[in-house]
Amino acid sequence: MTDLGPVILWVAAGFAYLLGSIPFGLLLTHAAGLGDIRKVGSGNIGATNVLRTGKRGLALATLLLDGGKGAVAVLVAGQFGREPALVAAAASVLGHLFPVWLRFKGGKGVATTLGVLLAVSWPVGVIACLVWLATAYVFRYSSLAALAAIGSSPAVSYLLAGQHEAILAAFLALLVFVRHRENIARLARGQEGKIKLSRR
Q: How confident is the model over 173-190, as pLDDT tens digits? A: 999 999 999 999 999 999
pLDDT at 87: 98
Give the integer Cα–Cα distance in Å for 140 and 12: 37
Domain spans in the chain, listed from the N-terminal domain onward:
5-189
pTM score, whole prediction: 0.94
CA dihedral defined by 127, 132, 134, 135, rounded to 10 degrees?
A: 130
Per-residue pLDDT, 41: 84
Q: What residues of the chain score a pLDDT lower than 50?
A: 199-200
Q: In angstroms, how far apart are the furthest CA atoms of the chain?
A: 60
Cα 106-44-33 angle, rounded to 5 deg: 105
